[in-house]
Amino acid sequence: MKRIVISGGAGFIGSHLCERLLREGHNVVCLDNYFTGCRENIEHLLDDPNFELVEHDLIDPYHTEADEIYNLACPASPVYYQHDPIKTIKTSVLGAIHMLGMAKRNGARILQASTSEVYGDPQVHPQPESYWGNVNPIGLRACYDEGKRCAESLFFSYRMQHGLNVKIIRIFNTYGPKMNLEDGRVVSNFIVQALLGRPITIYGDGSQTRSFQYVDDLIEGMVRMMASPDDFLGPVNIGNPGEFTMLELAGLVIGLTGSGSHIEFKPLPEDDPHQRRPDITLAREHLGGWQPTVQLEEGLRKTIAYFEELLRKHGVRA
Ligand code: NAD
Ligand code: UDP
């Protein structure tokens, strides 16, 4: 049994990871300030004696024993990370420093949840890890993109200077149950809009692409990365190479929900990447043949069922 700290453990991805690691018999400590996460995501775990929930803001240091650390704390939806950009940078940068400090004191392994956003609006397609990216350092998305890029630098600096056992994954657009109703990212927006019969909001002309990964595939990749040999640090892309335009996604969601919603076009936000798709060769080679197993339609069905239930629970009606 390991003692595993998960920062951002009450969030969408973090709560799935808490469940998975508890199921494997580990002791899990979840650190979260509930900015975008919520107790509801992890409430069912509170009776488990192996689960510890700590309300903590990662911009302040935190000390506890740990064998492994997953650093996930950071708002991930553009709506929330742009709400207080300075706080977003502090969370990425100070949060990484504090978690790396914890890893150093404990001799723990530490994994950073980085992002495909480090590639910015990519000029290389699909994106391999060797691509350094095309990021606007002063735009609306910079607080997130540069914060995450700096965190990657910090991880490698702690490795070079202190020999820490670090791992970095670059996560591509991930969706699934436990996303917040008001998360603001495209999959949850479209599903909630479709279920409520509201207009489906497409930003721009809808020709931009993303590659959508179901959360279970990501969790499997994360756990495999943490368990990989010491000399494999990454960064490694974890995503589903299936690539879709936002118009295609809207069509799929409307079809699967049987919704009568129509499409409403809205302005494209500044610096919105035109295309995104992971090259997952490295993950396949180093993570025991890891590859996504849930295709978009199947994952959307599960996510739609989750939001239907959530809307019922919250008493929200069309
Ligand atoms: P999320 O917003 O649901 O989860 C983030 C969690 O971090 C929330 O529980 C939030 O309350 C917590 N948090 C934020 N600021 C904090 C702070 N200062 N102190 C303590 N806790 C704080 O988002 P998610 O999709 O679960 O993302 C988790 C991680 O994965 C993030 O680091 C994100 O950048 C990364 N990621 C996610 C995706 C994706 O598509 N979901 C893609 C790339 C990277
Ligand atoms: N998007 C959209 N309608 C929405 C929300 C998002 O068309 O209601 C678009 C957004 O402009 C982007 C894509 O969907 O091109 C993915 O957006 P999201 O916020 O999910 O993630 P990110 O842009 O960070 O990949």
From 74, 99, 103, 79, select the one nearest 89 (Cα to Cα): 74
Question: What's the 291 CA to ligand 2 centre distance in angstroms?
Answer: 24
Atom number, ligand 1, closest to the C-alpha of residue 58:
19
CA distance 234 to 148: 15
Q: Is the CB of 239 under 6 A from ligand 1?
A: no
Ligand nearest to the CA of 59: 1
Average confidence (pLDDT) over 306-315: 93
pLDDT at 316: 81
18-55 tens-digit pLDDT = 999 999 999 999 999 999 999 999 999 999 999 999 99
Atom number, ligand 1, closest to the C-alpha of residue 15:
26
Question: What's the 32 CA to ligand 2 centre distance in angstroms?
Answer: 25
Ligand nearest to the CA of 93: 1
* Confidence bin at 262 (pLDDT 50/70/90): very high
The yes-or-no verdict on residue 71 having pLDDT over 80 is yes
Examine the residue annotation and report whether 70 is marked as an active-site residue of this protein: no
Catalytic member of 70, 81, 144, 214: 144
Question: What's the 26 CA to ligand 2 centre distance in angstroms?
Answer: 35
Residue 289: burial class (beta carbons within 10 Å; 0-12, 13-18, 19+): exposed
- Closest C-alpha residue for ligand 1 atom 27: 76
Q: What is the mean pLDDT of the chain?
A: 97
SS in 3 state form for 219-237?
Answer: HHHHHHHHCCCCCCCCCEE
- Closest C-alpha residue for ligand 1 atom 28: 72
pLDDT at 251: 97
pLDDT at 318: 66
Question: What's the 176 CA to ligand 1 centre distance in angstroms?
Answer: 14
The yes-or-no verdict on residue 192 having pLDDT over 70 is yes
Backbone angles phi, psi at 10, to 5 degrees: -95, 5
**Residue 38 identity (one-letter amino acid):** C
CA distance 47 to 221: 27
Strands in the chain per DSSP E = 3-7, 27-32, 51-55, 68-71, 109-115, 165-171, 174-175, 200-203, 209-210, 213-214, 236-238, 244-245, 263-266
Q: Is the CB of 59 under 6 A from ligand 1?
A: yes
* Confidence bin at 172 (pLDDT 50/70/90): very high
Average confidence (pLDDT) over 142-163: 98
